[in-house]
Structure 1
Amino acid sequence: MLALQKVATGEPRLELREVPEPTLRPGHVIIDVAAAGICGTDVHIMHDEYRSEPPVTLGHEVAGTIAAIGAGVDGWELGQRVVTETYYSVCGRCEHCRTGRPNLCASRRSIGSFEDGGFAPRVRVPATILHALPDDLGFPEAALVEPLACVVRGLLELNDVRAGDRVVITGPGPIGLLALQVAKAAGARVVVLGTAADAARLELAEQLGADGVLTVEAADALDEALAAALGGEPDVAIECSGAAPAAGLLLRLVKKAGRYVQVGLYGAPITLDMDQVCFKELRVSGSFATTPSSWYRALALASSGTVSLEAIVGATFALTDWERAFEAVAGRTPGKVLLVP
């Protein structure tokens, strides 16, 4: 079968290769991939900015149907529609695994970086990380459940964004648009910031219910415009862009005694004025990937229609057209860019 692989270190080193079909193992299933999202992490892996173990098939935002079931697997059926968590294996013994945080396990091996992922017709995963796909979610939307679970982790499980909060989000990409919807569902007022190049994505943010959208180029008037749109200084600043200037901007914009939440990844060290954290008595929180509990909450939000995944589905490309798909991501195409085998 054809698979899009990181073949070696040294950028870009992605190739569409003929690889063997995954073999079935006890405790595992094989999924026929119906749709897989391109994540910023895939771009970081392409440029050697995120750890991976090449040669490896990329893709960790996966939806499809069960094609084969290994020995010892109960409760699943052939042809069942599923989504999968990303952790192919964790140690199960460390403090983090035993307290429900497998995302922090030092032995964690994820699909798409250390184990073959979903940029291929088929992928093998442990049955323990499957979730049944509700009937009201199609496969393109289902490929966004994983990034939605990341947002649930950062905004609801770790930071309790709630009714009455004034929230500013940087980055109107898929993660930022999901964060907008989750914060709005919690009862917050939300303004999304982007650059002039984000015009189409900011328009989508407005359609999804943002209380305001602003471009950061209007720096002189930004504080005043933000306060006017939110009804005051932001209580919570959520950085989703992975762009270094956005982090410094949010530290400046968030109110004293406010909360700063880092969701986006930069791929390299950045410089910040950490004195602002002290002077303003800010609570700073990082958020990394997902936990099993965030998946259940994400599926509930999507299935109920509280969060619209369909609205964020962007351009779809055949796996063989992967180069154009990655160009669409780099070109800030609105919504999530998908690959289909």
Structure 2
Amino acid sequence: MKAAVNHQFKGQLEIQDIDVPEITSNDVLVKIHACGVCHTDLHACHGDWPVKPKMPLVPGHEGVGEVVKIGANITHLKLGDRVGIPWLYSACGQCDYCLSGDENLCLSQQNSGYSVDGSYAEYCKANGNYVIKIPDNLSYIDAAPLFCAGVTTYKALKVSDAKPGNWVAIFGIGGLGHLAVQYAIAMGLKVVAIDTGEDKLNLAKSLGASLCLDFKTDDVVSQVLEHTNGVHASICTAVSKSGFEQSYQVIRRGGKCVLVGLPPEEMPLPIFDTVLNGVSVVGSIVGTRKDLIECLDFAAQGKVKAITIEKSLDDINAIFDDMQNAEITGRVVMKL
């Protein structure tokens, strides 16, 4: 089968012919029809994070396609089912985190396109208990980005505990943020969107944001505080230290700052203000199978739609170059 393979950190991916994976009793084999490209894939191929991925590696954790083989222990799927293979490839199912509904925190989890080969390939092996069915009225192209970017932003909004009618600030209106705005609106929240440039701010406004601010030209903190009296929650998908600092500064007393992006710098936390104002600062990492089912349902109802750019697997190195240069609006999805 055709696949994009990374052999060394910071090297070019090679389009190769490799063997179709063999499945075992708990697995399924999925014929991949489309796969989204996530910034995490770039981090994996560059070895940027403390826990390194397997190498050589077939990246990809937004793969969607058709089940073509099923292991003996998998009884809830049938041949031809349309499914996606998310970042959470599998979890142990027995630890405190798994048993309490926090399987995305399982210390024994495997991750698609990181610790196991992913879906930058014509076929991908997956744990049959962790693939998620795609609603019938969602195309493969529309579904693919939701298996990471969608569920990540949806989960962050759930973690924020914001209620309908509350204000939420979304920092960064890129591949994650443009979905966060849509999920927030669908959940009945009022949105402040922060990014830079007319294109990003016009996009946020068209998606329903009530207030759109440019962090390069606007006094973001004072304007947000004046307009909202402080937001109930902020979701920071940005990867800059200043973005994280502003996401903290716009929170009202008792509010919650949810960190999603992964900047290389550390963010100093003002302990006195955090205690005095009763502010919570939390991290949010992707989501569970239940979160993913819910986030797909919003899209199936027509309330959320990723902005996608269609490419092919052969374009992957050029896609990574564009990603590094911040030249992508929305999400790239490769058709296979």
TM-score by length of 1: 0.90
Structure 2 residue identity aligned to 1:19: I
Secondary structure (helix, strand or coil) at the match of 1:255 reads strand
- What per-residue deviation string (whole Å, max 9, x for no partner) do you get for residues 48-70 of structure 1? 22331111210001111112222
Secondary structure (helix, strand or coil) at the match of 1:144 reads helix
The answer to whether the 8 Å contact 1:325/1:338 transfers is no
Identical pairs, percent: 27
Equivalent residue, structure 1, for 2:282: 285
Q: Distance in 1 between matches of 2:160 and 2:246?
A: 20
Q: Distance in 1 between matches of 2:146 and 2:194?
A: 23
Taking the TM superposition and a 5 Å limit, the aligned residue runs for 1:35-46 are: 35-46=34-45
Match of 1:272 among 268, 273, 282: 268
Q: Distance in 2 between matches of 1:273 and 1:129?
A: 36
The answer to whether the 8 Å contact 2:85/2:112 transfers is no
Equivalent residue, structure 2, for 1:244: 241
Structure 1 residue identity aligned to 2:7: V
* CA drift at 1:269: 4.6
Relative to structure 2, which stretch is displaced further, 143-152 or 11-20? Answer: 11-20
Taking the TM superposition and a 5 Å limit, the aligned residue runs for 1:85-100 are: 85-100=86-101
RMSD (CA atoms): 1.9
* CA drift at 1:279: 4.4
Q: Distance in 1 between matches of 2:285 and 2:267?
A: 20
Structure 2 residue identity aligned to 1:206: K
Taking the TM superposition and a 5 Å limit, the aligned residue runs for 1:166-181 are: 166-181=167-182
Structure 2 vs 1, CA of residues 91 and 222 (structure 1 numbering), >3 Å: closer, same or farther? closer
Q: Distance in 1 between matches of 2:12 and 2:95?
A: 34
Matched, 1:336 2:331: yes
Secondary structure (helix, strand or coil) at the match of 1:32 reads strand
Matched, 1:306 2:303: yes
The answer to whether the 8 Å contact 1:173/1:332 transfers is no
Identify unmatched segments of 5+ residues in structure 2. none
TM-score by length of 2: 0.91
Taking the TM superposition and a 5 Å limit, the aligned residue runs for 1:1-341 are: 1-8=1-8, 10-12=9-11, 14-50=13-49, 51-146=52-147, 147-156=149-158, 158-196=159-197, 199-219=198-218, 221-227=219-225, 230-266=227-263, 268-275=264-271, 276-307=273-304, 309=305, 312-330=306-324, 331-341=326-336
Secondary structure (helix, strand or coil) at the match of 1:73 reads coil
- What per-residue deviation string (whole Å, max 9, x for no partner) do you get for residues 40-90 of structure 1? 211221222233111121000111111222223223222221123333332
Structure 2 residue identity aligned to 1:290: G
Structure 1 residue identity aligned to 2:48: E
Q: Distance in 2 between matches of 1:12 and 1:205?
A: 35
- What per-residue deviation string (whole Å, max 9, x for no partner) do you get for residues 303-341 of structure 1? 11122x2xx232111101112222333333211111222
Identify unmatched segments of 5+ residues in structure 1. none
